[in-house]
Amino acid sequence: MPSVAFKQYSDDVSLLVLLLDTNPLFWSNTSITFSQFLSHVLAFLNAVLGLNQLNQVIVIATGYSSCDYIYDSSLTSNHGNFERSGTGMPPLFASLLKKLEDFVTKDEELSREEGHEDRTPSCLLSGSLSMALCYIQRVFRSGHLHPQPRILCLQGSPDGPEQYVAVMNSIFSAQRLMVPIDSCYIGVQNSAFLQQASYITGGVHHTPKQLDGLFQYLTTIFATDLHSRGFVQLPKPIGVDFRASCFCHKKTIDMGYICSVCLSIFCEHHKKCSTCGSVFGQSKLDEASSVSDKKRKAPHT
């Protein structure tokens, strides 16, 4: 009955898309083990689902070479057919873990196929952000009544500068869709991408200091729905790292050349823009110096 459904839809119904970092290179050397991390996260998901009957949770695993949907709370197949294996997991998450294991296996195979590429040990954030946004777009088109979506990015791996363009595109799409991207960074270095993502889309960024209290951080900061954020004070970072990476070498730079047509960033002078193909005129400085060089050479010969 549509009227009943409408009454149940209060302001704080939320759809949380969780991007889980499963980069093995990161998890092989951290203070917290992956299983401990998982237990914090799963308890948090349970708490979110408990806040409101109509809340939904989606989990997307961000691997080293691929991403995939792991869990969708709106699918009813989760509840039936659970396997009871002793004291194991509560049935709600049994399928999540099964799918996660399958995903890790698949990811391993893919990374083996990939070959001898020497990339930074980063996870595929751009891929999982895109998948999340696609799902959210589908929810938007499903009709009037839908929960308010937001994305929570749980990441520990450092940024991969080669993904700069794709990540920025996703961030701008999220901004357009008005979907906040929260980010919880549990790694060692600072993640510029996540800071920028949260800043631009109006989400919350936090770097927990104590990883064994991760559950507390998650429930205090990241469980608030969008409606309540108007009244609740959430911790804000003091500054944002706005550095970009250049499009040619993927180095992180803060001063460089920009194409005036498509705004692509380069760290050194190029003759042609690789993104839009527009030809750059010769820089006046180069012209002047080359002219004078030519003139100087003439008397010597």
- In the region spanning residues 57 to 116, those forming contacts with other proteins, defined by CB under 8 A, are 64, 85-90, 94, 97-98, 100-101, 104-105, 107-108, 111-112, 116
d(CA 198, CA 209): 19
- Is there a contact between 220 and 246 (Cβ–Cβ < 8 Å)? no
- Note whether 28 binds other proteins by CB under 8 A: yes
- If the CB atoms of residues 35 and 76 are measured against other proteins, the closer one turns out to be 35
d(CA 151, CA 229): 15
- Note whether 288 binds other proteins by CB under 8 A: yes
For residue 20, give both structure tokens: 């889980």
Choices 51-59, 117-125, 128-136, 183-191 (CB under 8 A): range interacting with other proteins: 117-125
Residues contacting 243, CB < 8 A, separation 6+:
192, 252, 253, 254
- Note whether 190 binds other proteins by CB under 8 A: no
- If the CB atoms of residues 157 and 191 are measured against other proteins, the closer one turns out to be 157
Single out the residue of 12, 25, 78, 146 in contact with other proteins (rule: CB under 8 A): 25
Choices 127-135, 147-155, 182-190, 285-293 (CB under 8 A): range interacting with other proteins: 285-293
Choices 51-59, 73-81, 160-168, 181-189 (CB under 8 A): range interacting with other proteins: 160-168
- Please give the distance of CA 269 from its chain centroid, rounded to a whole number: 31
- If the CB atoms of residues 145 and 261 are measured against other proteins, the closer one turns out to be 261
- Note whether 36 binds other proteins by CB under 8 A: yes
- Note whether 292 binds other proteins by CB under 8 A: yes
- Note whether 33 binds other proteins by CB under 8 A: yes
The DSSP annotation for 205-265 comes to: EE--S-GGGHHHHIIIIIT--TTGGGTS-----S-----EE-TTT--EESS-EE-TTT--E
Single out the residue of 12, 38, 187, 243 in contact with other proteins (rule: CB under 8 A): 38
Shortest Å, Cβ 243 to other proteins: 13
Residues contacting 237, CB < 8 A, separation 6+:
195, 205, 206
Dihedral, CA of residue 106, residue 107, residue 110 and residue 115, to nearest 10: -150
- Note whether 252 binds other proteins by CB under 8 A: no
Q: At what angle do helices 192-201 and 164-177 cross, to 10 degrees?
A: 20
Shortest Å, Cβ 59 to other proteins: 13
- Note whether 169 binds other proteins by CB under 8 A: no
- How many angstroms separate the first and last alpha carbons of the chain? 93
Q: Per-residue x/- mask for other proteins, residues 118 to 157, rule CB under 8 A?
A: xx--------------------------------------
- Is there a contact between 98 and 124 (Cβ–Cβ < 8 Å)? no
Count residues near other proteins (CB under 8 A). 71
